[in-house]
Structure 1
Amino acid sequence: MVSVDAILLAGGRGSRVDGAVKPLFEVGGSTLLAAAVDAVRAAEARRVVVVAPVLDASLDVEWVREDPPFGGPVAAVVAALSTVDADDVYVVACDLAAPAAAVRRLTDPLPPGADGACLDDGRRQWLIGRYRTAALRAAASGLADGGRDASMRALLGALVITPLAASDTVTRDVDTWDDLRRARGGAMTENRTLPSEALNDWSAALAERFGLAEGDIPISLVLDLARDVANGVARPAAPLSAFVAGLVAGRAGGSPADTEAAVAAVVEMARGWEHR
């Protein structure tokens, strides 16, 4: 039985998101980092090593740091190699939008004669791979300065790496604020189980119970508010924001126009929240 550990890369600068800590971005109710940890655990990784400062002390992982920090992904892999001891090791970047789907493609044993395998969506995705630990160590031993600022090709180019075809949906990562919005929108679509029309009966029951008129409960408006707040702030903020919008609208008079104005104000805040 081949044993597997995991090296998760989570210590980048986040320069394209204004220095924000990308692994702590929440998508689908989990941070990207926690989702990556769950993905490699589900793929039977025994030991999970995260190369980063301690970002979430609640995670059952080991933390290491390349020296000096921000030396690039190769330096991060080299820093973690002394901590892993399994036959193979997953190497996964913690900015993947859907790490579970990506890591599942790596769970098959490596082919005989191969030093590793990585996903390929038309381009080799070195940072979504499974490699023989001994081969990585041998390749790393030939790098100067602990691999600082080296390319992944410099580390892996001389190894026999099997490409695993994958769609760009599986390999998509979160590099920019637009990427984050798209990832969150996709997660909401995947998790949504009720179409708005399914709420009509519940809305009618609420209206009857509280003496509301038809049209007093703007279902689409409220759902759109929840979507925008969940995408721009966090999913738990959506029901809270809906409550606040209703409170503000009620205090303003409670007309449909008051409701629309309150919802618009909350949505405007949510859309600018990530850039505050």
Structure 2
Amino acid sequence: MVTLDAILLAGGRASRVGGAAKPLFEVDGRTLLRAGIDAARSVGAQRIVVVGPRLDDDAGLTWVREDPPFGGPVAAVLAALPVVDAEEVLVLACDLPTAVPAVAALPDVLGAGIDGVCLDDGRRQWLIGRYRTGALRTAASGLADRGRDAAMRALLGGLRIEPVAVDPALTRDIDTWDDLHHARGGAMTENRTLPPEALNDWSAALAEHFGLDRGDIPIPLILDLARDVANGVARPAAPLSAFVAGLVAGRAGGSPADTEAAVAAVVEMARGWDHP
């Protein structure tokens, strides 16, 4: 019987959602990380290696991180390969609410003469695939700088990968807030997501105008606050809560630690909010 391990990618920058922890986004009562874990276990993965910051207390997971972080999916796969023991490995990004049925669409056994399979919805979805571990190691050995910033095609393009045609609905991942809203059953809206460089420019302009240091504006922290309040209370409560957190932090002294404490207090309230 062929053995199988899994590599789950959960450590990206998530720049299109302001650096928020996408694997912790919930869809239908389950985080995207948990969807990936469930998908891996549903096909018999013996060891599940998660590449990213520790986001779950499940004792059955092995956590690793590419060095330095945010090196891209290839660097993440290469960081996980040394702790993979099985003959085959499932590679899956943790931004997919349909992870369980998507992984189920992959064949249980790789055919003779191929190095792997991946879903194909009109383009190859390398990060929903099952590959021979030895073939991945051989391909990885030819990459410079431990695969940092390399495209998945650089790792897999030279291998014999068989595509599995599927409907694009099965591979619709979450890259933006609008994607998350749609995955939760909401209608798609006009895309008002700022590209990360525009958000950084606006932050820099605010800092310059008001005489602040760039480090005084913790973009990911505030966006996480907005996400948690929007999810736990209501969307209009998010900017109000950010304003209140700023007031509380300012009254406490205005240090980065004061800001983190104020944000944490607001987030704790939002997560426990059950008012009708």
TM-score, length of structure 1 as denominator length: 0.69
Mapped partners of 2:239, 2:123: distance in 1: 33
Alignment-derived partner of residue 76 in structure 2: 76
Verify the 8 A CA contact 2:6 2:90 in the aligned structure 1: yes
Q: CA deviation at 1:145?
A: 0.7
Q: How does 1:74-153 map to 2 (within 5 A)?
A: 74-153=74-153
> Quick one: structure 1 residues 107 and 46, their matched pair in 2 at CA, closer, same or farther if it must change by over 3 Å?
farther
Contact preservation (8 Å) 2:229, 2:241 = no
SS at match of 2:149: coil
| TM-fit CA distance, 1:124 | 0.4
> 1:170 — aligned with what?
170
How many residue pairs match? The answer is 204
Q: Residue 162 of structure 2 aligns to which amino acid in structure 1?
A: T
1:247 corresponds in structure 2 to: none
Structure 1 vs Structure 2 CA RMSD: 2.4
Specify the alignment match of 2:214 in structure 1: none
In the other structure, the counterpart of 1:63 is 63
Match of 2:231 in 1: 233
Partner of 2:159, secondary structure, is coil
- 1:44 counterpart SS class: coil
Post-superposition offset of 1:97: 2.0
* CA 1:271–1:170: 2 relative to 1, 3 Å: farther
Q: Residues 58 and 74 from structure 1, CA distance in 2 versus in 1: closer, same or farther, beyond 3 angstroms?
A: same
TM-score of the pair, normalised by structure 2: 0.69
Aligned to 2:268: none
Q: Deviations over 1:113-169 (max 9, x none)?
A: 010000000000000000000000000000011111111000001100000001111
- Displacement after TM superposition at 1:101 (Å): 1.0
Show structure 2 runs of 5+ residues with no match: 187-227, 246-276
Q: Secondary structure at the match of 1:163?
A: strand
Shift of 1:232: 4.5
Rate the CA distance shift 1:231–1:108 in 2: closer, same or farther, 3 A. Answer: farther
Between the aligned partners of 1:103 and 1:5, the Cα distance in structure 2 is: 13
Query: Contact (CA 8 Å) 1:3, 1:88: kept in 2 or not?
Result: yes
Q: Note if 1:54 corresponds to 2:54.
A: yes
Cα distance change of structure 1 residues 130 and 267 upon mapping to structure 2, 3 Å threshold: closer
Q: C-alpha distance in 2, partners of 1:64/1:103? A: 22
Q: Quick check: 1:269 aligned with 2:237?
A: yes
**Residues 267, 57 of structure 1: alpha-carbon distance in 2 compared, 3 angstrom cutoff:** closer
Residues in 1 aligned to 2:174 and 2:78: alpha-carbon distance in whole angstroms = 24
